[in-house]
Structure 1
């Protein structure tokens, strides 16, 4: 392994740890340097540099009429004071008991209910800290998954629903809705109609580009559709689970525009790039069966073309994407690759090969 010193942003220099593997060449993944990224838009900072978050490890802020947002700087969640108990929406393990501190900072009410947005441990992996006596509400698929894959820190929900439900605690209402698989099976929307506050987790990250591979979403068609489903709500604020600030309607429109740009350029690239160009590199010698090499280069070419077109496009407000979304420049390639693959898997290929050949617009 290559030995060299690693310089931290605070100026401290130490030897590189044993787990830091950087000599794998083509078979490994490259590392990014902070200088590889465009300067982040300052409106994406959110809670990251707020003194209370730095000191306490969390920032808590009232959105409206008893609905609160809590951010640990990378994960966030929501809770609602009802006057007769607190409803918590999600419990990220990265916040952990700091979430209890945030609740205690604004109310003496005990936590009586928890809503699971979905079953993923990074968002509900601290659910057990509320004890065994609260009501735990989730979609039936979430309960099914947590029963199938038990985790002591994610107790199985005590109350479930299949499509829509209203959680009413002391007259404070949350509307719960499942519109089909998107980021994950059982991922629901949680809406406070009086306060016009919405929780829609892992669909977008306000001010930031979606995390790699469209946030590791299971159903990209559903994930794409979820942007429009969010916009069907009458909301003023939206809690998204990541990263460091809550969002507005404008943030959702921005995320949808970015997503649709990737979709459009991905469909275009799938029709433009030719696999045969890379097949000829295999020749007739010992590498003639190395089809994966041609395939890898084929998808790299498609991904690079999509990435170039997305990042060079002037967007609806006259800026480039790296000027609008934190991390859009370096991370777009990951979202582009995933979108290309999911278009192939989830959407029409514009026909199929017949005895006469393939139809116009067909792609592999």
Structure 2
């Protein structure tokens, strides 16, 4: 990966199978231009951020890999999330378009990568979040993520200066307390860490805690009346077609994961296990999951999708990241979905049973 003369001391490259493998830029397919979004816009390159009005006072701010939303109301600015990667550039973006002070901050969820700069708004703002978000921030305090001052359990409406935002919690998905924020008049929806417009979702389905809920949340997005989607990541705004595209990709992973689990027997890898070698069962597990992941990855990437293209031609990073998402969905299928029955006393198992 690098020569010995320019390798920093912290870079570990010699672990072999014990460590994580590095990739090269040449390993990746050329990404579709539709995925670039704000990455190469002159203002983002010059200032470090890009800000644009979506519609009627609703603004989007992007640093290139993290983004968020703010709304001018005439009576103060409402901010949704404060990613530390944006940090004070978010203040600069707001000041670029309005003299109104920030009066309200909404937390989409409790994760520090999305709200870890919220303390910069000071102590006089109202902070609104789901009650689970408050519970988690009280349990794991962080001075940069002030505890919410107002919470709700299912649905709430925030109206400032005649501007209305609808907040809704539909159950655990990416994490507990992750909410939808809808601006109905502007037809803008924020669904953070769910859909990834024009990109494959980051590895392990964006580290989502409940894959069944995360998968369901994509369909819940389509229940809203919106034209523009803010996702929190991936450098670009989305729309309904982007969500539908993401659902097709996830459906492939889910379908092929179940097919792999119902097809590949772990017993195949038991045959090489030496009973005198105490670590052997872990080796069997590693090879079993490698077989599962490779099966799902091959099936997903070789399929001709609904528009006649393969996924690496449609979604940025699909070729190299699909294996990580495949592992996550395989494991969550084992944890969250039926195994088609259970072992019987006589040692037999139902058809398509998996462990």
TM-score (ref. length: structure 2) = 0.98
After TM superposition, the structure 1 = structure 2 runs for residues 137-286 of structure 1, keeping only pairs within 5 Å, are 137-284=128-275, 286=276
Matched, 1:339 2:338: no
Which of 104, 112, 133 pairs up with 1:113? 104
Determine if contact 2:263/2:352 at 8 Å carries over to the other structure: no
After TM superposition, the structure 1 = structure 2 runs for residues 40-59 of structure 1, keeping only pairs within 5 Å, are 40-59=31-50
Q: Deviations over 1:226-279 (max 9, x none)?
A: 000001101000000001001010110011110010000000000111111111
Matched, 1:361 2:315: no
2:73 aligned partner: 82
Question: Which segments of 5 or more consecutive residues in structure 2 lack a partner in the other structure?
Answer: none
Which of 301, 304, 317 pairs up with 1:327? 317
Partners of 2:2 and 2:103 lie apart in 1 by: 53
C-alpha deviation, 1:288, in angstroms: 6.1
Instruction: Give secondary structure in 2 for the equivalent of 1:70.
Output: strand
Instruction: Give secondary structure in 2 for the equivalent of 1:54.
Output: helix
1:306 aligned partner: 296
Which of 77, 93, 97 pairs up with 2:84? 93
Matched, 1:32 2:23: yes
Aligned residues: 354
Q: Deviations over 1:79-108 (max 9, x none)?
A: 001011000000000000000010111111
C-alpha deviation, 1:19, in angstroms: 1.1
Instruction: Give secondary structure in 2 for the equivalent of 1:282.
Output: coil
Partners of 2:59 and 2:132 lie apart in 1 by: 27
Determine if contact 2:131/2:153 at 8 Å carries over to the other structure: yes
Matched, 1:349 2:339: yes
Partners of 1:312 and 1:229 lie apart in 2 by: 28
Partners of 1:223 and 1:153 lie apart in 2 by: 27
C-alpha deviation, 1:171, in angstroms: 1.1
Q: Deviations over 1:48-74 (max 9, x none)?
A: 000100110100011110000000001
Question: Which segments of 5 or more consecutive residues in structure 1 lack a partner in the other structure?
Answer: 6-13
1:69 aligned partner: 60
C-alpha deviation, 1:289, in angstroms: 5.5
Partners of 1:297 and 1:77 lie apart in 2 by: 41
Partners of 1:318 and 1:65 lie apart in 2 by: 37
